[in-house]
Amino acid sequence: MNLHEQKKQLRTELKQRRSKLSESSRSKKSQQIIQFLHEFDEFNQAKSLFCYISYLSEVETNSLISGILEQNLALSVPKIMGKTEMLAIPLTDLSDLEPDKMGILTPESSLATSDSFDIAITPGVGFTVRGERLGYGRGYYDRWFSKNKVKIKIGIAFEVQIVGELPLEETDMPLDILITEERIIDLRKKSFD
């Protein structure tokens, strides 16, 4: 099986694992993840944040986004443009979002910020404890990370999304911190020799 097929098979398996969580369980686990996030000094001191808008069975980010907006911090959210590009669009109000063709809430505006970010909250299908991430297969986040300055890349996921190994490519960008409902893994302090 080639790398592409391995990734595709793993994505299917991990999405199934995640979708088997009940809505109440997902909600409770998401709240714990957000609580852990608030334990980070860097998160609490951040002035500019980039955060994905949760969709389907992902870790729920609406309450996190609302909290960031209430603090009047600079927040940008993703907007997919075409088949390859993801932009960081400033967001000041949740009412500025509308469903895109896949049903993901997205900013109406296409005016991207070129600012650097203190924190980027990143989704994924699968992760390892080494900070490796398996995305949805289009490479949006890896390309965006390669072009944008982000001090700390934080992946948030449910424990069922953690695996021992991931099939990786050179373009796959590792995370600095991984948070699940059970643990915080600060990869900046670990060595995996």
Q: In the prediction, which pLDDT does 193 show?
A: 41
pTM of the model: 0.91
Q: In the prediction, which pLDDT does 192 show?
A: 47
Angle at 189 between CA 188 and CA 193, to 5 degrees: 95
Q: Which amino acid is at 60?
A: E
Q: In the prediction, which pLDDT does 148 show?
A: 92
Span 158-169, pLDDT tens digits? 999 999 988 877
Q: Which amino acid is at 110?
A: S
Sign of the torsion angle spanned by Cα atoms 75, 100, 63, 59: negative
- Separation CA 117–CA 105 (nearest Å): 21
Tokens coding 24: 């109440």
Tokens coding 167: 């099939």
Give residues with Cβ within 8 angstroms of 60, minimum separation 6.
26, 27, 30, 54
Output the CA–CA distances (angstroms, integers) from residue 146 to 2, 68, 79, 163, 170, in the order listed: 25, 25, 17, 24, 12
Among all chains, which residue has been given the structure tokens 């500019």?
48
Structural domains for the chain: 3-187 (3.40.50.10420)
Name the stretches of the chain with pLDDT < 50.
192-193
Q: In the prediction, which pLDDT does 190 show?
A: 60
Q: In the prediction, which pLDDT does 20 show?
A: 95
Closest to 4 in 3D by CA, of 174, 131, 139: 139
Q: In the prediction, which pLDDT does 7 show?
A: 84
Q: In the prediction, which pLDDT does 126 show?
A: 94
Among all chains, which residue has been given the structure tokens 């050179």?
170
Tokens coding 119: 């924190």
